[in-house]
A and B are shown apart, each in its own frame.
Chain A
Amino acid sequence: MNTTNETSSLKKRFRRNRWKYIFSDVLLWFILLLFFIPALWIILTSIRIRSEINAFPPVWIPTGFSFDSFKILFGMPTPEGAFGLGGEIPVISYARNSVIVALVSTTFALIFGTLAGYVFSRFRFKGKNGLYLGLMLARAIPGIALSLPLFIVFARIRLSDTILGLVVTYSALNIPFTAWLMDGFFRAIPKELDEAARIDGCSLWGAFIHVSLPLALPGVAAAGIFAFLTSWNEFALAGIITRTPASRTFPPALFEFTGQFVSDWRGMTAMSVLMLIPAVIFVALVQRQLLEGLTSGATKG
């Protein structure tokens, strides 16, 4: 009864403001299109025929598709040969480095950041506020400001141009934000649950592992996405720490790609798509948790 009333009142409201609603819908989809076109254009260009990409007058509707740009990127033979840039692109190395660095550093950040978040949400201890603030400030330091001292220090301790150097760096950079997100999530879980587990004979660690952590898993997923995307996409530090394909990840490789071979937009789009695929898959998998994670801090005010 109540529901039908509500529906009919909504319908009435819609009928009264029909043009307003239609207008706002059209406007919305127009704006969304504007935001989506750049992404679409990159993907479309990577599979277009070579002659249509830089054609003038511009060819808007593709007459056919070709995966040659990807084949060239992976060093497979094509009728056209290589991009106009001589030498092979060690794309396999870039991909391998990117994946290892992003996954390992995300794992570290999740383990330590979650512990830190739990501590901040459950305990009161001396120096807590100072530590919290320090953590946030560490995250606020621009990558480019950190790049110079890291460049010098890593060169001395032989961490420059190694995957390990990047892993350590990104773990540290991702811990503060993970702690901040997890703090918010743990706060949303009633302390009484932990206490009840303790009374039932759980250790502190047991209460954390068996009670709080499972309830905060959506938060871990959200924090994981953020850590992954940060590591996967970071450029300012990666560009300085890595020098050779042995440790170079996609972002600095992409920079190099255009720096030297400005005209090859086709190769650039192919590499971009390669770089986008894992990010898109990752985000699509946990989109709901991501949203929850982002807004968890706000809802509890």
Chain B
Amino acid sequence: MTVQAQRQDIVSKKGFSLQLPERHLPITLLLPSIIFIALVVGLPMLYSLYLSFTDYTLTSGSNFHFVGLENYKHLLFDDPMFWKVFGRTILFITLAVNLEFLLGLGIAQLMARAIRGQSLARTLMMMPMMFAPILVGLQFKWFFNAQVGLVNNILYTITGTAHLIPWLIEKNLGFISILVAEIWMSTPFMVIILEAGILSLPQEPFEAADIDGASGWQKFQLLTLPMLMPFVYTAMAIRSLDIARAYDVVSIMTGGGPANRTELIWTYVNRLAFTGQQFAMGSAMSYITVIFSFIFTYMLFQNVLKSRWAGEMGEL
């Protein structure tokens, strides 16, 4: 087959013939992608790694020194902000991803069994997916505004007295506000994938379960959820790649403030690097967020990779 194919490659009469030995074809076709990514992501990230081992600042020019792991040491051991920010980010992601998943699953279930209007429901649900994260942040900044915000206005209309609740300024309320924005932005995505999953499930097991008199909860727990897992993996995998979008939302809603009360690791990079102009420290912080993202991506992505690569790993 290969020999024949190669010969046919050469004698091909069709216009689009790529006269290359087949052995090199895969890498040739991949080359443009590799070059793009190496230039825009690879090289800058290597540069950033190098910077993180120096004492470079905006004004250093060429006058800076190699300081080894000093920046990382400072962040991890001497910076009282770092662990607070780190812990808050873990809490934020844990709450966001779990709430989005539970909410998404619930809404997807409701949507899948809706009697009419499924496609309208799906269209409405997709609306937040078109919003730029920066736009999501902006609208919630406005909604949670103490004086003219939608939330306080609704409270006023319902209760009849003016509430000037400082949503974005008070410590815990600020955290809740950014969490609400994040959930509004990302839940629809879960819903869309999980609903498609639920609709694609085979009906026979459910009919059999009905005949055996299984309860709704039993059907959900023993049939729906296990069969839905591939869709859950896909949703989680794509979600993991986009987790840092939370930076956009928070940066416009609170900017990590006031007084760092809603700071997450991503806004902290911005504070160190661009507000504080400590490029080296910012680079070190960047690398901490990169490692954080890799671990998070690996956790949520591993099952997808397993299924994609099934049967290939052994052959290689």
Spell out A's residues near B (CB within 8 Å): 14, 21, 24-25, 27-29, 31-32, 35-36, 38-39, 41-42, 53-54, 56-58, 60, 108, 111-113, 115-116, 118-119, 123-125, 128-129, 131, 133-150, 152-153, 168-169, 171-173, 175-177, 179, 183-184, 195, 198-199, 201-206, 209-210, 229, 232-236, 240, 250-251, 254-255, 258, 265, 268, 272, 275-276, 279-280, 283-284, 287, 291, 294-295, 297-299, 301
In the complex, chain B residues 75-127 whose Cβ is within 8 Å of any chain A Cβ: 107, 110-111, 113-115, 117, 121-127
Chain A residues with Cβ under 8 A from B316's Cβ?
A: 124, 128-129
Q: Using a CB–CB distance below 8 Å, which chain B residues touch chain A?
A: 1, 4-5, 8-9, 11-14, 16-18, 22, 25-27, 29-30, 32-34, 36-37, 39-45, 47-48, 51, 107, 110-111, 113-115, 117, 121-135, 138-143, 147-148, 150, 153, 156-157, 162, 184, 187-188, 192-193, 196-197, 200, 230-231, 233-234, 238, 240-241, 243-244, 247-248, 251-252, 266, 269-270, 273-274, 279, 282-283, 286-287, 289-290, 293-294, 297, 301, 304-305, 307-309, 312-313, 315-316
A35 lies within 8 A of B128 (CB): yes
Query: Given that A32-B121, A254-B135, A301-B230 are contacting pairs, would A58 and B153 also be in contact in the complex, using a CB cutoff of 8 Å?
Result: yes
Residues of B within 8 A of A118 (CB): 29
Q: Write 17 A-B pairs (CB below 8 A) sorted by A numbering.
A: A32-B121, A108-B36, A112-B32, A115-B29, A115-B33, A124-B316, A140-B297, A145-B48, A145-B290, A150-B44, A171-B36, A202-B12, A204-B25, A206-B16, A276-B135, A287-B123, A301-B230
Given A202-B12, A265-B142: A35 touches B125 (CB 8 Å cut-off): yes
User: Are A203 and B12 within 8 A (Cβ)?
Assistant: yes
Known: A152-B47, A258-B138. A141 touches B301 (CB 8 A): no
- The main secondary structure of chain A at its interface with chain B is helix
Check A295/B234 contact, CB under 8 A, given A35-B184, A58-B156.
yes
Decide if A148 touches B16 in the complex (CB within 8 Å).
no
Contact of B36 among A172, A251, A284 (CB under 8 A): A172
Q: Report yes or no: A294 in contact with B234, Cβ–Cβ below 8 A.
A: yes
Whose C-beta in chain B lies nearest to the C-beta of A121? B308
Picked from B37, B51, B135, B231, the residue with its CB within 8 Å of the CB of A135 is B37
Question: Is the Cβ of B241 less than 8 Å from the Cβ of A168?
Answer: no
Closest chain B residue to A33, Cβ basis: B124
Q: Which of A152, A206, A272 contacts B14 (CB 8 A)?
A: A206
